[in-house]
C-alpha cells in the first residue's frame, strides 16, 4: 500500500471524527437533539462505531483474511435454514 494514501486515510478519519463530535456538541448545546432525535442518534452511533473500529484495527491490524471471514459469516447468517 502507498504510505501517502494510508496517512491521508488516517487524516480523513480524524477530521470526520472531530466534525462529528462538534456536530453532536452543537446539537446538545442548542438543544436541537429534541427536534432531531433520529439524526442525533445516528451521529452518536456513528461515533461509537468509529471508536470501536479504531480500537479493533489498532489491536488486530487490518488484513484481508479477517475481513473475508467476517463477510462470509455475515453471508451464512443471511441464508435461510
- What pLDDT shows up at residue 24? 95
Per-residue pLDDT, averaged over 25-40, amounts to: 95
Domain extent, residue 8, equals: 3-78
Q: Are 36 and 23 spatial neighbours (Cβ–Cβ below 8 Å)?
A: no
CB 47 within 8 A of CB 24: yes
- Output the pLDDT for position 20: 94
pLDDT over threshold 90, residue 21: yes
Nearest to 37 by CA among 29, 27, 46: 27
The stretch 39-52 carries a mean pLDDT of: 91
Report the number of distinct structural domains present in the chain: 1
Amino acid at each position: 500500500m502507498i504510505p501517502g494514501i494510508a496517512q491521508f486515510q488516517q487524516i480523513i478519519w480524524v477530521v470526520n471524527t472531530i466534525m462529528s463530535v462538534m456536530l453532536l456538541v452543537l446539537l446538545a448545546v442548542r438543544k436541537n437533539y429534541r427536534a432531531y432525535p433520529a439524526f442525533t442518534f445516528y451521529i452518536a452511533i456513528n461515533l461509537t462505531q468509529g471508536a470501536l473500529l479504531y480500537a479493533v484495527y489498532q489491536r488486530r491490524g487490518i488484513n484481508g483474511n479477517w475481513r473475508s471471514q467476517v463477510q462470509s459469516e455475515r453471508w451464512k447468517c443471511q441464508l435461510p435454514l
